[in-house]
Amino acid sequence: MNVPSVRTIELDPRIIRWMLISAQILALIVYLLGAGFLLRTSGGTLFLFSVAAPPMILLATLALAGVALYRYLRRSSLFAFALFEPGDLIFQQGDQGDFAYFIQQGEVEVVRRNEEVEIVISVLKKGEHFGETALINNAPHDITVRAKTRVRVAMLGKRKFLHMLRFVHPTEDNVMSTINQQASKQAAKRAKSTTQDRKVQRA
Amino acid sequence: MSCTNSQIAGILCGALSVPATAMAQQTTFQQDPFDQYVSRFLAVVIVIGAGLVLWSLFRYRGRDVGAISWGFLIAGTSLFPMMLSGVGTIVALERVRTVRVCGSCHLTMKSYVDDMMNPKSNSLAAVHYTNRYIAENQCYECHTSYGMLGTLQSKKQGVIDVYKYYTRTFQLPLQLRQPYRDGDCLKCHAGAPKWIAAHEESQQKIFEGKVSCMQCHRETTPAHNLLAQELNP
């Protein structure tokens, strides 16, 4: 399944915060200019109030509108995006499944822990996806996924993912075939490790 | 104006103080009711708006965490300032006509304003001002034959005046850019029995523009008197 090339503008939350604080400070200056004009009307206060205040109001309103638009776009955007550094856990075995993950960049390791033994089942690359089994089964994750390199993933929420499966049939086929492939790989690995265990026991 | 200011100050400080209200009642007849009520309204807008912004700043510290924080943000940062600016502009247009505001910008004309307010001066401006022949906005009443685009024109000329003021390249007495319009005198005087009686012979010529007011009145009763030290500082 190809990863949809959805792009969203991701702003640092600090930028949003400072935009809002700046808008509020501008509004406070406008109130001060208004109070100055009302209390002591002179050429200076009149000039400041009638010439400087309107651009400040415009700037403050634009800042608010910008943040509101950004929030709206983020909310209505299909995907959320996240970056993980090498070694970061994306989710752990037993965690509740909230998202399906689509790898945009980098590689991840799919790991299963079995009685303190950690087995790397597979390595997923750009264009592949994971985490959807827990969403379909409505059960906790049965694997741990860890970033092998620096990874950028597009995250699709549970509700949106299930809607997508319901309404877009090829997607369902694609996801199911991936799940089957992964299950086969896991089964093969398990069979291999069991054979090795027996050999060790015989020896 | 000062009484209105004390009331506004009262509102801006959080409440209407009793002395301020009492003072306002004494001089209510001198105040423009429009200015009075709109100023109070604007003072309330400022108090509420600034309160909303300050509360939002301290409570949310720049975060937008839900409908209430957005309500505070939109009201305090955008709606109330727009209301303040919009309604305030109407008040500004009214107040800009007062002698105090004229004098606070047209600094080169300070000596003209001082002369107008001097009860001992016999200039036309002083006679009109000190006897309250013109009740208020005395500068504006005699100097506003602007027309439709006159305000823009006068502001453009005002920029030149600002330059001349700060570079000290102006000279007293100031010269009018164009001859004083008789219409600015006649809009009040024409039709007054006293004026008709005094101008029985000349009024036809005045109306036809053959004789101007200043031709006869410039020497005997000048529009403004300037003191010798102001002319030669």
Query: Where does chain A have alpha helices with state H?
Result: 13-39, 43-47, 53-76, 132-137, 158-167, 169-202
Q: Is A48 touching B (CB cutoff 8 A)?
A: no
Question: Domain span at residue A44?
Answer: 13-76
DSSP state at residue A131: S
Question: Of A76, A94, A127, at which residue does a domain stop?
Answer: A76
User: Which residues, in sequence order, are CB contacts of A53 under 8 Å at separation 6+?
Assistant: A30, A33, A34, B81, B84, B85, B88
CATH of the domain at A106: 2.60.120.10
Residue stretches of chain A with pLDDT short of 70: 1-10, 170-172, 186-187, 189-191, 193-203
Interface test with A, best of B55, B78, B100 (most A CBs within 10 A): B78
Task: Point out which residues pair with A100 in neighbouring strands.
Answer: A156
Task: Point out which residues pair with A113 in neighbouring strands.
Answer: A118
Of A78, A82, A119, which Cα lies nearest the Cα of A103?
Answer: A82
**Residue A100 shares a structural domain with residue A191:** yes
For B123-164, write each residue's pLDDT tens digit: 888 989 988 888 888 888 888 765 556 667 777 777 888 888
Looking at the complex, report in whole angstroms how far the Cα of residue B35 sits from the nearest Cα belonging to chain A.
10
Task: Point out which residues pair with A102 in neighbouring strands.
Answer: A129, A154
Who among A21, A27, A37 is closest to B81 (CB)? A27
Count of structural domains within chain A: 2
Residue stretches of chain B with pLDDT short of 70: 1-30, 145-151, 227-233
Interface of B with A in 5-64 (CB under 8 A): 5, 8-9, 12, 39, 42-43, 45-46, 49-50, 53-54, 56-57, 61-64
Does residue A176 lie in a domain region? Answer: yes
**Residue A84 shares a structural domain with residue A130:** yes
Query: Where does A11-52 have alpha helices with state H?
Result: 13-39, 43-47
Report whether A143 contacts A94 (CB < 8 A): no
**Residue A69 shares a structural domain with residue A109:** no
Provide the CB-side half-sphere exposure for A87 (13 A, CA): 0
Does residue A5 lie in a domain region? Answer: no
What are the sequence ranges of the domains in chain B? 2-95, 106-231
**Residue A150 shares a structural domain with residue A165:** yes
Cβ of B47: how many Cβ atoms within 10 Å? 18
Q: B101 to chain A: nearest residue by CA?
A: A42
Amino acid at B43: A
**Residue A70 shares a structural domain with residue A92:** no
Of B50, B28, B224, which Cα lies nearest the Cα of B123?
Answer: B224
Interface test with A, best of B40, B74, B84 (most A CBs within 10 A): B84
Q: Is A61 touching B (CB cutoff 8 A)?
A: yes
**Residue A101 shares a structural domain with residue A144:** yes
Distance of CA B82 to the CA centre of its chain: 23
**Residue A24 shares a structural domain with residue A124:** no
Interface test with A, best of B72, B77, B140 (most A CBs within 10 A): B77
**Residue A116 shares a structural domain with residue A98:** yes
Amino acid at A111: V
Interface of B with A in 133-152 (CB under 8 A): none
Report whether B102 contacts B161 (CB < 8 A): no
**Residue A41 shares a structural domain with residue A26:** yes
Q: What is the pLDDT of residue A195?
A: 67
Q: What is the pLDDT of residue A8?
A: 46
Q: What is the pLDDT of residue B224?
A: 84
| Structure-block tokens of residue B158 | 């005002």
**Residue A147 shares a structural domain with residue A53:** no
As a whole number of angstroms, the distance between CA B12 and CA A39 comes to 10
Question: Of A42, A59, A76, at which residue does a domain stop?
Answer: A76
Does residue A2 lie in a domain region? Answer: no
**Residue A108 shares a structural domain with residue A190:** yes
Q: Is B84 touching A (CB cutoff 8 A)?
A: yes
Q: Is A31 touching B (CB cutoff 8 A)?
A: yes
Question: Of A76, A96, A130, at which residue does a domain stop?
Answer: A76
Report whether B125 contacts B115 (CB < 8 A): yes
For A52-96, write each residue's pLDDT tens digit: 999 999 999 999 999 999 888 877 777 878 888 898 899 998 898
Interface contact B88-A49, CB threshold 8 A:
yes
Q: What is the pLDDT of residue B51?
A: 95
**Residue A71 shares a structural domain with residue A145:** no
Report whether B157 contacts B177 (CB < 8 A): yes
Does residue A8 lie in a domain region? Answer: no
Omega within 30 of 0 (cis) for the link into A4: no
Does residue A4 lie in a domain region? Answer: no
Q: What is the pLDDT of residue A31?
A: 96
Q: What pTM was estimated for this model as a whole?
A: 0.62
As a whole number of angstroms, the distance between CA A99 and CA A89 comes to 14
Report whether A149 contacts A72 (CB < 8 A): no
